[in-house]
Amino acid sequence: MVSEEQRRVPAKRGPKNKLALFGGKKAVESEHEDIFRWPVITDQHEQAVLKVLRAGQMSGFEVTKEFEKKYARALGRKYALAYHNGTAAILGAMYGLGIGVGHEVIAPSLTYWASVAQAYTLGATPVFADVDPDTICIDPKDIEHRITPRTKAIVVVHYAGMPADMDAIMKIAAKHNLKILEDCSHAHGALYKGKEIGTFGDVAAFSLMTGKSLAIGEGGILFTDDRKVYERALLFGHYIRHDEITLEELKPFAGLPSGGFKHRMHQLSSALGLVQLELYPEAMGEIDKAMNYFCDLLDDTNGIRPIRPGKDTGSTKGGWYFPHFKYVTEELEGLSLSRFSDAVRAEGSTCNPGCNKPLHLHPLFTTMDVYGHGRPTRIAYLDESVKIEQYIETLPVAEDVNRYVFEVPWFKQHRPEIIEEHANAYKKVVKNYRVLLADDTGKDTESPRSAGTQIGGYSSFFSSQPRPSEGRGQKNTQ
């Protein structure tokens, strides 16, 4: 830690170095809102939507089927099924896999709730695993000891664009005969060792809502090569397309949705999807270039570490949805992340501490009796002898991670001079960190186990807006 004397004697600094937090000139000066704008809507999008509107096709499925076909071909999977949102696509995928009463589904605790909360709807029990501190994706080393005879599937989330460790996870699934559901909502177009994510599991689901890197308003889609998974998902929530059902075991139930759900995608979204599919590879390439440039500029900066796949691994982050860095407080003499981020935001850049709150600590998964079974829903469909305590996890990384990760600017265009200004905002704060120590109240000691904790959130789309001191930044995440 810094000495008392050091606290009283700030680092020598000229006007250029004076932090904006203390009245200095901001590091980010130029007007550049458009570098964050997302999605980019062009005349091509407008025409595609107008065409559907004018044809009176809003509630049909022809445009949707075309979107499914093109997306499946682009990803290299046999079947695609579109949904009105990603949450429904994951529910459909779970039903498709045969997840039902008494089954357990292992998922990372650190994700958006819709990766796994739908298991309740099917009478299944989510089981949470810890995440890897470097990737923030499910930690394969924390999966195997959670497998029981009831385990049916593992949900893998490629969190914040980082591809999860698929080699290790696929090995575990094969050994224990488990299904893999990839939640690719954060990682459209990302690669794991040269292979596109969404092509590893038995089924993959993507959210396509406005904030995502492939954005069509509200929407979701699942992909599979397994006809049975596809047809079960059709049966569950797409009754109007039951004429596609070919499997004898499912045919007698066609006509009505077995889940009582209507999961159809709005055709205006499908029309947008067709355009986005065409434009996405170029847009993704631009984001990848911009974000890697930003990371390269900050790679050797004390106290911060970009979270991205290693160079020459063949892995990439696709559209870099919800990009994060790690904060290493020890390298800045214990300066709290909250104080650090206040200073970076004052310089005009984006720096939001935290990511998603761990799910396993929320009452929905510890105490709540959602449907009136007389016991917590998490164990409601299991043997009477099972106690909720058996399911309540302690996950050290997931519980701690919000204290040492932060969201960085999500650049959609590679404009080096602007990106350099943002990188300079970070470098300037790191260079002058000592002047921040004096008034540091150290808010990072907050634990996710304490009520009302402010770090992280359950939805960053609505809560992680640019803070008042920030002035500019991205708006559309999750």
Which residue's CB is nearer to ligand PLP, number 236 or number 433?
236
Which residue's CB is nearer to ligand PLP, number 269 or number 338?
269
Take residue 436 and report the two structure tokens written for it.
Answer: 């921040």
115 binds ligand PLP (CB under 6 A): yes
Picking from 371, 355, 383, the residue whose alpha carbon sits closest to that of residue 108 is 355
DSSP type of residue 177? T
State the SS3 of 306-366. Answer: ECCCCCCCCCCCCCCCCCEEEECHHHHCCCCHHHHHHHHHHCCCCCEECCECCHHHCHHHC
Q: What is the DSSP string of 112-160?
A: -GGGTGGGGGGT-EEEEE-B-TTT-SB-GGGTGGG--TTEEEEEEE-GG
Take residue 103 and report the two structure tokens written for it.
Answer: 């089954």
- Residues 139-178 contacting ligand PLP, CB under 6 A: 157
Whether residue 12 lies in the annotated active site: no
Min dist CB 39 to ligand PLP, Å, is 14
Q: Which residues contact 335 (CB under 8 A, 6 or more apart)?
A: 303, 329, 433, 436, 437, 440
Cβ count within 10 A of residue 192: 23
Catalytic residue among 152, 179, 212, 357: 212
Min dist CB 265 to ligand PLP, Å, is 11
Which residue's CB is nearer to ligand PLP, number 95 or number 426?
95
343 binds ligand PLP (CB under 6 A): no
87 binds ligand PLP (CB under 6 A): yes
Asked if 277 and 72 count as a contact pair (C-beta separation under 8 A), the reply is: no
Out of 35, 82, 85, 437, which residue is the one contacting ligand PLP (CB under 6 A)? 85
What is the C-alpha to C-alpha distance for residues 64 and 60, in angstroms, rounded to an integer?
A: 8
- Count interface residues toward ligand PLP (CB under 6 A): 16
476 binds ligand PLP (CB under 6 A): no
Out of 111, 270, 349, 350, which residue is the one contacting ligand PLP (CB under 6 A)? 111
Side chain identity, residue 442: G
Out of 39, 86, 140, 259, which residue is the one contacting ligand PLP (CB under 6 A)? 86
Min dist CB 60 to ligand PLP, Å, is 21
Q: Which residues contact 331 (CB under 8 A, 6 or more apart)?
A: 302, 303
136 binds ligand PLP (CB under 6 A): no
- Any bridge partners for residue 192, and if so which? 195
464 binds ligand PLP (CB under 6 A): no
Which stretch in 118-126, 162-170, 182-190, 324-332 sits in contact with ligand PLP by CB under 6 A? 182-190
324 binds ligand PLP (CB under 6 A): no
Side chain identity, residue 196: E
182 binds ligand PLP (CB under 6 A): no
Phi, psi (rounded to 5 degrees) for 128: -100, 140
Picking from 259, 276, 122, the residue whose alpha carbon sits closest to that of residue 214 is 276
Which stretch in 112-120, 224-232, 287-295, 329-337 sits in contact with ligand PLP by CB under 6 A? 112-120
* Maximum CA extent, the chain: 81
Take residue 351 and report the two structure tokens written for it.
Answer: 């720096």
- Residues 220-249 contacting ligand PLP, CB under 6 A: 220
Min dist CB 463 to ligand PLP, Å, is 13
Which residue's CB is nearer to ligand PLP, number 213 or number 338?
213
Min dist CB 220 to ligand PLP, Å, is 5
Min dist CB 296 to ligand PLP, Å, is 27
Out of 64, 109, 151, 207, which residue is the one contacting ligand PLP (CB under 6 A)? 207
Min dist CB 157 to ligand PLP, Å, is 5
- Give me the residues that bind ligand PLP (CB under 6 A), please: 85-87, 90, 111-112, 114-115, 157, 183, 185-186, 207, 209, 220, 478
Q: Which residues are catalytic?
A: 212
